A and B are shown apart, each in its own frame.
Chain A
Amino acid sequence: MLQDKLKEGIRDGPEYAGTVTKYVFIESNHTTPDDLALHAYELAAPVMIKETCFGLQVTGDPADVEAVIARIREVDPSHIFVKDRGFPPGDARRCRANMGGARPGYFGHEAEAGVLRYVSYGLQRMYHGDSLSPSELEIIHPKERVELSNERLLEIFNRDA
């Protein structure tokens, strides 16, 4: 159990071996990380919950974390996004409390956060039971890339020669 591991304090081996850590991102006008933390604590599950500016980090045994995540998702299903994290929170190799300065990483999250609102809108409509025809789905698929023909390549060569 995670609680037993926490009581052991500093150990020689890797920290929190056998546990999983999940990021919970909240992108909502109505729900704050504080709300999520309260719902997570209500379960009294044996997990470690860290509240952050973007949501939560939940660490514990896989089944416990899954139970907490399932409960949290109910709060605002369309605006809560969850992903795995490799490192446990506070890991000395990643935590800026030890490193100083800005924490490296989060660039991908920052970039994807810009389109989360569109995904949330799509999720809302999906939960509402709306559907799309196959032709309407095409707008999100990448367009076929047209290969450069030999003639066009020669044309470019001759033009630049």
Chain B
Amino acid sequence: MNVYLKYSIVMREIMAKVFIYPTTSLILSDMVERLGHIPLGSALSVRDTVQQGGVEGIDSPPLNMTPDDAKRGLKWAAVEVPPGVRGRMSLLGPLIAEAEAAIIMDEPLAFGCMGCARTNELATFLLKEADIPVLELNYPQTDDEGFAFVMAIKEFLKGLEGGEQKAGDGNE
């Protein structure tokens, strides 16, 4: 069988949607996907915004803000909250609402202006308030911590309903 055909018929099973924080994390996004689940990161929201019609005139990525975004953010932040936070929440809020679990890095590498910082605080608060399983981790700084990091995520994801190993253990 053609190799391409062989892989194109690999269908994904029903998996858990796992919100990752930092929302742009390469490591978390890869680990969640590698272990058979769907990572919910900001790239998904940005992709939707970029690909939807009617935003061709927007030329200030990565924000891609429109007045409607700030209005949509009112669902998660009060009207006196700066539009920078509300606009960002219009990207993260739907993902948080959709999430079935979350992995949050402590002392994350997420940084930026005050809009980003406040949005990060609000996002982590909403995740911890939501009735979903949350795993909090540190970034590994040694080999042993790296192994513990991988195994902690693996055990956490294994506990989610409908999860299954995609990459497979011991297949090498």
Q: Is A160 an interface residue (CB 8 A)?
A: no
Chain A residues closer than 8 Å to B62, beta-carbon distance: 86, 105
Tell me the complex Cα distance, A116–B109, Å.
13
Tell me the complex Cα distance, A64–B111, Å.
34
| Chain B residue, CB-CB nearest to A63 | B8
- B143 CB → nearest A CB, Å: 5
Tell me the complex Cα distance, A99–B134, Å.
40
Is the beta-carbon distance between A87 and B10 smaller than 8 angstroms? Answer: no
Contact with B along A98-122 (1 / 0, CB 8 A): 0000000101110111011111111
Is the beta-carbon distance between A14 and B152 smaller than 8 angstroms? Answer: no
Q: Is A9 an interface residue (CB 8 A)?
A: no
Tell me the complex Cα distance, A23–B25, Å.
12
Contact with B along A113-136 (1 / 0, CB 8 A): 101111111110111111110001
Please tell me the number of chain A residues within 8 Å of chain B, measured between CB atoms: 66
Chain B residues closer than 8 Å to A84, beta-carbon distance: 29, 39, 41, 43-44, 47
A-B contacts counted at CB < 8 A amount to: 183
Q: Is B110 an interface residue (CB 8 A)?
A: yes
Chain B residues closer than 8 Å to A18, beta-carbon distance: 51
Please tell me the number of chain B residues within 8 Å of chain A, measured between CB atoms: 64
Q: Is A97 an interface residue (CB 8 A)?
A: no
- B92 CB → nearest A CB, Å: 13
Q: Is A53 an interface residue (CB 8 A)?
A: no
Q: Is A161 an interface residue (CB 8 A)?
A: no
Is the beta-carbon distance between B147 and A141 smaller than 8 angstroms? Answer: no
- A28 CB → nearest B CB, Å: 14
Is the beta-carbon distance between B29 and A82 smaller than 8 angstroms? Answer: yes
Q: Is B124 an interface residue (CB 8 A)?
A: no
Tell me the complex Cα distance, A113–B59, Å.
29
Is the beta-carbon distance between A85 and B140 smaller than 8 angstroms? Answer: no
Tell me the complex Cα distance, A129–B150, Å.
12
Tell me the complex Cα distance, A93–B49, Å.
13
Tell me the complex Cα distance, A127–B168, Å.
7
Tell me the complex Cα distance, A122–B24, Å.
21
Is the beta-carbon distance between A108 and B110 smaller than 8 angstroms? Answer: yes
Is the beta-carbon distance between B147 and A126 smaller than 8 angstroms? Answer: yes
Q: Is A96 an interface residue (CB 8 A)?
A: no
Interface residue ranges, A against B (CB under 8 Å): 12-14, 16-21, 23, 25, 42-45, 63-64, 66-68, 70-71, 73, 77, 81-88, 91, 93-94, 105, 107-109, 111-113, 115-123, 125-132, 136-142
- A83-B30, A118-B141, A127-B169 given. 6 additional CB < 8 A pairs? A86-B43, A93-B60, A137-B155, A140-B138, A140-B148, A141-B137
Q: Which 7 A-B pairs have the closest CB atoms?
A: A86-B46, A118-B146, A122-B150, A67-B7, A142-B106, A84-B43, A83-B29
Interface residue ranges, B against A (CB under 8 Å): 3-4, 7-8, 10, 12, 22, 24-27, 29-31, 33-34, 39, 41-47, 49-53, 55-56, 59-62, 106-107, 109-111, 136-152, 154-155, 167, 169-172
